[in-house]
Amino acid sequence: MKNINYTSEHFKRVERFLLEEYDIEVVYGHNISDAYYDSARIIEINNRQNIPSRLHSLLHEAGHACLRNEKRRVSFGANFPFMRKHGSSKRGDKDHRVDVVREEVLAWERAYDVAVQLGIDIDQDLWCKHRKDSLITYMEWF
Ligand SMILES: [Zn+2]
């Protein structure tokens, strides 16, 4: 389904979900990177990017929040044994990098589930391009 008409209501839905499910607040700014800060309970989103890109980034970071907070049979720490506590954005050794790539892939998949759950009609073409470009940057680490 093609939908380039994302509105502030779509952002509000994701923000409400993050606050209600995980007590996480979203902050937008010009000079910040898209990121999720687990211990601070904050997601930062760069608002220089266009609206579709901004919503996809927000959903992706929400995907990270889900992965790191949901109750699962295997805890995040056990499932990502080579992930260092605070270093997922920094380049580590190959063991660490494998876990970073695994988390990135899963965060994109989880992000799509969140969109479906919240009734957000994703623009498939833009979504697939954004996900692909984002994953390539991590894969190029190797
Ligand atoms: Zn990510």
What are the pLDDT digits (tens) for 66-124?
999 988 778 888 899 888 754 556 667 888 889 999 999 999 999 999 999 999 999 99
Alpha carbon of 126 to ligand 1 centroid (Å): 17
Alpha carbon of 107 to ligand 1 centroid (Å): 6
Alpha carbon of 100 to ligand 1 centroid (Å): 8
Sign of the C-alpha dihedral, residues 32, 33, 34, 40?
negative
d(CA 34, CA 16): 18
Alpha carbon of 129 to ligand 1 centroid (Å): 15
Domain 8-141, classified CATH 2.60.40, yes or no? no
Q: How far is CA 74 from CA 68, 105, 134, in A?
A: 11, 18, 26
Residues in the 5 Å CB sphere of ion ligand 1:
104, 107
| Secondary structure (DSSP) of 17-42 | HHHHHH--EEEEETT--SEEETTTTE
Stated pTM of the model: 0.91
